[in-house]
Structure 1
Amino acid sequence: MTEVTGKEALERVKTLVEDIDFTMLTTQDAQNRLVSRPMSTREMDDAGDIWFFTAEDTQKVDDVQRDHDVGLSYCDAKGMRYVSVAGRASVVHDRAKMEELWTPSLDIWFPHGLETPGIALLKVTPLDTEFWEPAHGKLVMAAGMLKALVTRDTPDDTMNHGRIVC
Protein backbone atom coordinates (compact mmCIF):
# COMPACT_ATOMS: atom_id res chain seq x y z
CA MET A 1 0.00 0.00 0.00
CA THR A 2 1.30 3.44 -0.91
CA GLU A 3 0.80 6.09 1.78
CA VAL A 4 -0.36 9.53 0.69
CA THR A 5 -0.17 12.36 3.22
CA GLY A 6 -0.38 16.11 3.68
CA LYS A 7 -1.71 18.42 0.98
CA GLU A 8 -1.78 15.61 -1.60
CA ALA A 9 -4.03 13.52 0.68
CA LEU A 10 -6.37 16.47 1.32
CA GLU A 11 -6.66 17.14 -2.43
CA ARG A 12 -7.41 13.44 -3.12
CA VAL A 13 -10.07 13.33 -0.38
CA LYS A 14 -11.76 16.45 -1.77
CA THR A 15 -11.81 14.96 -5.27
CA LEU A 16 -13.12 11.60 -4.06
CA VAL A 17 -15.81 13.09 -1.79
CA GLU A 18 -17.12 15.37 -4.52
CA ASP A 19 -16.87 12.68 -7.26
CA ILE A 20 -18.54 9.91 -5.27
CA ASP A 21 -21.25 12.36 -4.07
CA PHE A 22 -23.46 10.07 -1.98
CA THR A 23 -22.32 9.01 1.45
CA MET A 24 -23.82 7.15 4.35
CA LEU A 25 -24.04 9.51 7.31
CA THR A 26 -23.93 7.61 10.61
CA THR A 27 -25.21 9.14 13.84
CA GLN A 28 -26.11 7.74 17.24
CA ASP A 29 -29.80 7.81 18.19
CA ALA A 30 -31.35 8.41 21.62
CA GLN A 31 -30.96 4.68 22.46
CA ASN A 32 -27.25 4.83 21.52
CA ARG A 33 -27.81 2.77 18.36
CA LEU A 34 -25.89 3.61 15.21
CA VAL A 35 -28.19 4.85 12.45
CA SER A 36 -27.07 5.48 8.85
CA ARG A 37 -28.78 7.19 5.96
CA PRO A 38 -27.68 8.37 2.48
CA MET A 39 -26.78 12.02 2.00
CA SER A 40 -25.73 13.94 -1.11
CA THR A 41 -22.54 15.93 -0.64
CA ARG A 42 -22.74 19.54 -1.77
CA GLU A 43 -19.10 20.47 -1.22
CA MET A 44 -15.89 19.88 0.65
CA ASP A 45 -14.58 23.40 1.20
CA ASP A 46 -11.00 24.63 1.42
CA ALA A 47 -11.04 24.24 5.22
CA GLY A 48 -11.96 20.56 4.77
CA ASP A 49 -15.55 20.89 6.02
CA ILE A 50 -18.14 18.76 4.19
CA TRP A 51 -21.56 20.34 3.55
CA PHE A 52 -25.05 18.88 3.08
CA PHE A 53 -28.58 20.26 2.92
CA THR A 54 -31.09 18.88 5.42
CA ALA A 55 -34.51 19.52 6.88
CA GLU A 56 -34.48 20.43 10.56
CA ASP A 57 -37.35 18.11 11.51
CA THR A 58 -35.37 14.90 10.94
CA GLN A 59 -33.90 12.24 13.18
CA LYS A 60 -30.39 13.00 11.92
CA VAL A 61 -30.68 16.61 13.13
CA ASP A 62 -31.98 15.42 16.52
CA ASP A 63 -29.10 12.93 16.70
CA VAL A 64 -26.47 15.53 15.76
CA GLN A 65 -27.78 18.04 18.29
CA ARG A 66 -27.55 15.38 21.02
CA ASP A 67 -24.15 13.95 19.96
CA HIS A 68 -22.02 15.80 17.42
CA ASP A 69 -19.83 12.77 16.57
CA VAL A 70 -20.68 11.33 13.15
CA GLY A 71 -19.25 9.05 10.50
CA LEU A 72 -19.32 9.39 6.72
CA SER A 73 -18.71 6.41 4.43
CA TYR A 74 -18.17 6.99 0.72
CA CYS A 75 -18.03 3.99 -1.61
CA ASP A 76 -17.43 3.78 -5.35
CA ALA A 77 -17.33 0.00 -5.68
CA LYS A 78 -16.92 0.00 -9.47
CA GLY A 79 -13.98 2.39 -9.25
CA MET A 80 -12.65 0.68 -6.10
CA ARG A 81 -12.48 4.06 -4.31
CA TYR A 82 -13.45 4.50 -0.66
CA VAL A 83 -13.41 7.29 1.94
CA SER A 84 -14.12 7.08 5.66
CA VAL A 85 -14.59 10.24 7.73
CA ALA A 86 -14.95 10.52 11.51
CA GLY A 87 -16.06 14.04 12.32
CA ARG A 88 -18.14 16.51 14.29
CA ALA A 89 -21.42 17.71 12.81
CA SER A 90 -23.36 20.91 13.35
CA VAL A 91 -26.56 22.40 11.97
CA VAL A 92 -25.91 25.71 10.23
CA HIS A 93 -28.36 28.48 9.21
CA ASP A 94 -26.27 30.57 6.84
CA ARG A 95 -28.33 31.96 3.96
CA ALA A 96 -25.27 33.04 1.97
CA LYS A 97 -23.75 29.56 2.22
CA MET A 98 -27.08 28.00 1.23
CA GLU A 99 -27.25 30.24 -1.85
CA GLU A 100 -23.68 29.28 -2.73
CA LEU A 101 -24.40 25.53 -2.48
CA TRP A 102 -27.94 25.47 -3.93
CA THR A 103 -28.60 23.60 -7.19
CA PRO A 104 -31.96 23.01 -8.91
CA SER A 105 -31.65 19.25 -8.32
CA LEU A 106 -32.38 19.94 -4.64
CA ASP A 107 -35.97 20.92 -5.55
CA ILE A 108 -36.85 17.22 -5.18
CA TRP A 109 -36.34 17.43 -1.41
CA PHE A 110 -37.01 21.15 -0.90
CA PRO A 111 -39.96 22.07 -3.17
CA HIS A 112 -39.91 25.76 -2.22
CA GLY A 113 -36.17 26.09 -2.74
CA LEU A 114 -34.38 28.11 -0.11
CA GLU A 115 -37.77 29.30 1.14
CA THR A 116 -38.69 25.76 2.24
CA PRO A 117 -39.57 25.93 5.95
CA GLY A 118 -36.97 24.23 8.15
CA ILE A 119 -34.23 24.03 5.53
CA ALA A 120 -30.72 24.02 6.98
CA LEU A 121 -27.18 22.95 6.28
CA LEU A 122 -25.36 20.13 7.98
CA LYS A 123 -21.62 20.77 8.28
CA VAL A 124 -19.25 17.92 9.09
CA THR A 125 -15.78 18.90 10.24
CA PRO A 126 -13.48 15.90 9.73
CA LEU A 127 -11.30 14.79 12.64
CA ASP A 128 -9.89 11.62 11.10
CA THR A 129 -10.17 10.77 7.40
CA GLU A 130 -8.91 7.78 5.44
CA PHE A 131 -9.16 6.89 1.76
CA TRP A 132 -8.26 3.99 -0.49
CA GLU A 133 -8.05 3.89 -4.29
CA PRO A 134 -6.15 1.84 -6.88
CA ALA A 135 -2.58 3.10 -7.24
CA HIS A 136 -2.47 2.35 -10.97
CA GLY A 137 -6.10 2.97 -11.93
CA LYS A 138 -9.08 0.68 -11.99
CA LEU A 139 -8.44 -0.86 -15.42
CA VAL A 140 -4.79 -1.70 -14.68
CA MET A 141 -5.81 -3.26 -11.37
CA ALA A 142 -8.62 -5.29 -13.01
CA ALA A 143 -6.26 -6.50 -15.77
CA GLY A 144 -3.71 -7.54 -13.14
CA MET A 145 -6.35 -9.53 -11.26
CA LEU A 146 -7.48 -11.24 -14.47
CA LYS A 147 -3.86 -12.09 -15.31
CA ALA A 148 -3.35 -13.48 -11.80
CA LEU A 149 -6.38 -15.76 -12.25
CA VAL A 150 -4.82 -17.24 -15.38
CA THR A 151 -1.20 -17.45 -14.15
CA ARG A 152 -2.07 -18.27 -10.52
CA ASP A 153 0.26 -15.43 -9.44
CA THR A 154 -0.51 -12.90 -6.75
CA PRO A 155 -2.16 -9.85 -8.33
CA ASP A 156 -0.71 -6.36 -8.03
CA ASP A 157 -3.55 -4.90 -6.02
CA THR A 158 -1.58 -1.91 -4.79
CA MET A 159 -3.86 0.70 -3.31
CA ASN A 160 -3.10 4.31 -2.50
CA HIS A 161 -4.02 4.90 1.12
CA GLY A 162 -4.12 8.22 2.84
CA ARG A 163 -4.95 9.42 6.31
CA ILE A 164 -5.58 12.91 7.58
CA VAL A 165 -5.86 13.42 11.32
CA CYS A 166 -6.91 16.89 12.49
Structure 2
Amino acid sequence: MSDFTHEHDKVWDLVDDITICMFITHDGQRHRARPMAAYVRRDEHAIYFLTNAESAKAHQTERDHDVTLAFADKGHNDYLTISGPARVSNDRDKIRDLFNAFAQASWQSADDPDIRLITVTPEEAEYWDSPGGPVALVKMMAAAATNRRPDLGDNEKVNL
Protein backbone atom coordinates (compact mmCIF):
# COMPACT_ATOMS: atom_id res chain seq x y z
CA MET A 1 0.00 0.00 0.00
CA SER A 2 1.42 3.38 -0.94
CA ASP A 3 1.81 6.17 1.59
CA PHE A 4 -0.68 8.15 -0.49
CA THR A 5 -3.36 5.50 0.00
CA HIS A 6 -2.43 4.98 3.65
CA GLU A 7 -2.68 8.71 4.40
CA HIS A 8 -6.05 9.01 2.66
CA ASP A 9 -7.37 5.92 4.42
CA LYS A 10 -6.19 7.31 7.77
CA VAL A 11 -8.06 10.59 7.20
CA TRP A 12 -11.30 8.88 6.18
CA ASP A 13 -11.02 6.30 8.99
CA LEU A 14 -10.62 9.05 11.58
CA VAL A 15 -13.67 10.93 10.25
CA ASP A 16 -15.68 7.69 10.29
CA ASP A 17 -14.63 6.90 13.86
CA ILE A 18 -15.05 10.34 15.44
CA THR A 19 -18.27 11.55 13.66
CA ILE A 20 -18.74 14.76 15.70
CA CYS A 21 -16.64 17.76 14.74
CA MET A 22 -16.37 21.46 15.27
CA PHE A 23 -17.72 23.03 12.06
CA ILE A 24 -15.83 26.29 11.56
CA THR A 25 -17.04 29.14 9.36
CA HIS A 26 -16.09 32.79 8.97
CA ASP A 27 -18.68 35.47 9.74
CA GLY A 28 -16.74 38.24 7.97
CA GLN A 29 -14.79 39.24 11.07
CA ARG A 30 -14.16 36.13 13.15
CA HIS A 31 -14.11 32.38 12.85
CA ARG A 32 -17.10 30.66 14.44
CA ALA A 33 -17.14 27.04 15.57
CA ARG A 34 -19.94 24.77 16.67
CA PRO A 35 -20.25 21.01 17.22
CA MET A 36 -22.06 19.13 14.47
CA ALA A 37 -22.68 15.52 13.45
CA ALA A 38 -20.77 14.60 10.30
CA TYR A 39 -22.36 12.24 7.79
CA VAL A 40 -19.39 10.74 5.98
CA ARG A 41 -19.65 9.43 2.43
CA ARG A 42 -16.14 8.55 1.32
CA ASP A 43 -17.39 7.07 -1.98
CA GLU A 44 -18.91 10.49 -2.77
CA HIS A 45 -15.82 12.35 -1.50
CA ALA A 46 -18.14 14.35 0.73
CA ILE A 47 -18.95 15.08 4.34
CA TYR A 48 -22.54 16.18 4.92
CA PHE A 49 -24.22 18.14 7.69
CA LEU A 50 -27.87 18.92 8.39
CA THR A 51 -28.79 22.38 9.62
CA ASN A 52 -31.66 24.84 9.81
CA ALA A 53 -32.22 27.02 6.74
CA GLU A 54 -31.91 30.24 8.74
CA SER A 55 -28.95 29.20 10.90
CA ALA A 56 -25.89 31.41 11.16
CA LYS A 57 -23.70 28.59 9.85
CA ALA A 58 -25.87 28.25 6.73
CA HIS A 59 -25.66 31.99 6.02
CA GLN A 60 -21.93 32.13 6.77
CA THR A 61 -21.29 29.14 4.49
CA GLU A 62 -23.28 30.75 1.68
CA ARG A 63 -21.16 33.94 1.97
CA ASP A 64 -17.77 32.26 2.45
CA HIS A 65 -17.54 28.71 1.13
CA ASP A 66 -14.21 27.88 2.82
CA VAL A 67 -14.79 25.90 6.02
CA THR A 68 -12.70 23.88 8.42
CA LEU A 69 -13.78 20.77 10.29
CA ALA A 70 -11.93 19.89 13.51
CA PHE A 71 -12.27 16.34 14.83
CA ALA A 72 -10.87 15.13 18.17
CA ASP A 73 -10.86 11.75 19.88
CA LYS A 74 -9.15 12.60 23.13
CA GLY A 75 -9.44 9.02 24.39
CA HIS A 76 -7.22 7.75 21.58
CA ASN A 77 -5.17 10.95 21.11
CA ASP A 78 -6.39 11.26 17.51
CA TYR A 79 -6.91 14.72 16.03
CA LEU A 80 -7.82 15.79 12.51
CA THR A 81 -8.62 18.97 10.62
CA ILE A 82 -10.18 19.06 7.18
CA SER A 83 -10.52 22.14 5.00
CA GLY A 84 -12.46 22.64 1.81
CA PRO A 85 -15.37 24.35 0.13
CA ALA A 86 -18.90 23.90 1.39
CA ARG A 87 -22.26 24.59 -0.17
CA VAL A 88 -25.77 24.80 1.22
CA SER A 89 -28.60 23.12 -0.66
CA ASN A 90 -32.14 21.92 -0.30
CA ASP A 91 -31.44 18.44 -1.70
CA ARG A 92 -34.47 16.63 -0.27
CA ASP A 93 -33.36 13.19 -1.49
CA LYS A 94 -29.99 13.47 0.26
CA ILE A 95 -31.62 14.90 3.41
CA ARG A 96 -33.96 11.89 3.52
CA ASP A 97 -31.00 9.57 2.91
CA LEU A 98 -29.03 11.02 5.83
CA PHE A 99 -31.89 11.53 8.28
CA ASN A 100 -31.50 9.32 11.34
CA ALA A 101 -32.30 9.18 15.06
CA PHE A 102 -29.65 11.82 15.76
CA ALA A 103 -31.29 14.23 13.28
CA GLN A 104 -34.69 13.41 14.74
CA ALA A 105 -33.58 15.10 17.96
CA SER A 106 -33.71 18.40 16.02
CA TRP A 107 -36.48 17.80 13.46
CA GLN A 108 -39.55 15.59 13.53
CA SER A 109 -39.01 14.21 10.05
CA ALA A 110 -36.79 14.43 7.00
CA ASP A 111 -39.62 16.30 5.30
CA ASP A 112 -39.29 19.31 7.61
CA PRO A 113 -39.02 22.25 5.17
CA ASP A 114 -36.53 24.02 7.46
CA ILE A 115 -33.75 21.40 7.04
CA ARG A 116 -30.87 22.28 4.76
CA LEU A 117 -27.92 20.21 3.65
CA ILE A 118 -24.33 21.43 3.89
CA THR A 119 -21.93 19.51 1.66
CA VAL A 120 -18.22 19.80 2.36
CA THR A 121 -15.77 18.64 -0.30
CA PRO A 122 -12.53 17.85 1.54
CA GLU A 123 -9.42 19.31 -0.13
CA GLU A 124 -6.80 19.28 2.62
CA ALA A 125 -6.40 17.46 5.89
CA GLU A 126 -3.91 17.23 8.70
CA TYR A 127 -3.94 14.55 11.34
CA TRP A 128 -2.12 13.85 14.55
CA ASP A 129 -2.15 10.25 15.73
CA SER A 130 -0.41 9.81 19.08
CA PRO A 131 -0.11 6.97 21.56
CA GLY A 132 -2.45 7.30 24.52
CA GLY A 133 -1.72 8.17 28.15
CA PRO A 134 0.60 5.53 29.70
CA VAL A 135 2.37 4.74 26.41
CA ALA A 136 3.08 8.43 25.75
CA LEU A 137 4.35 8.87 29.31
CA VAL A 138 6.75 5.92 28.99
CA LYS A 139 8.04 7.22 25.63
CA MET A 140 8.62 10.69 27.09
CA MET A 141 10.45 9.28 30.11
CA ALA A 142 12.63 7.06 27.91
CA ALA A 143 13.42 10.00 25.62
CA ALA A 144 14.34 12.20 28.58
CA ALA A 145 16.62 9.48 29.97
CA THR A 146 18.41 9.05 26.62
CA ASN A 147 18.41 12.74 25.62
CA ARG A 148 16.37 11.99 22.48
CA ARG A 149 13.10 13.31 21.15
CA PRO A 150 10.19 10.98 21.91
CA ASP A 151 8.26 9.31 19.10
CA LEU A 152 4.80 10.61 19.89
CA GLY A 153 3.02 9.37 16.79
CA ASP A 154 2.26 10.53 13.29
CA ASN A 155 1.50 13.98 11.95
CA GLU A 156 0.71 14.24 8.25
CA LYS A 157 -0.66 16.88 5.89
CA VAL A 158 -2.76 15.27 3.18
CA ASN A 159 -4.16 16.67 -0.06
CA LEU A 160 -7.47 15.05 -0.73
- Give the drift of 1:159: 1.4
Mapped pair 1:164 → 2:158:
yes
Query: C-alpha deviations, 1:18-69, integer Å up to 9, x for none?
Result: 211111111111x421111111111142243111111111000100111101
In 2: Cα distance, 1:122 partner to 1:14 partner: 18
Aligned residue-pair number: 159
The RMSD of aligned alpha carbons is 2.4
State the match for 1:48 in structure 2.
45
Judge conservation of contact 1:5–1:164 (CA < 8 Å) in 2: no
Secondary structure at the counterpart of residue 46 of structure 1: helix
State the match for 2:129 in structure 1.
133
Q: Which amino acid is the alignment partner of residue 17 of structure 1?
A: V
Higher relative contact order (CA 8 A, sep 6+): 1
State the match for 1:69 in structure 2.
66
TM-score, normalisation: structure 2? 0.85
State the match for 1:12 in structure 2.
10
User: Taking every aligned residue pair, what percent have the same amino acid on both sides?
Assistant: 27
State the match for 2:88 in structure 1.
91
In 1: Cα distance, 2:142 partner to 2:75 partner: 19
TM-score, normalisation: structure 1? 0.82
In 1: Cα distance, 2:74 partner to 2:122 partner: 22
Deviates more, 1:39-48 or 1:53-62: 39-48
Q: Which amino acid is the alignment partner of residue 51 of structure 1?
A: Y
Mapped pair 1:104 → 2:98:
no
In 2: Cα distance, 1:11 partner to 1:41 partner: 17
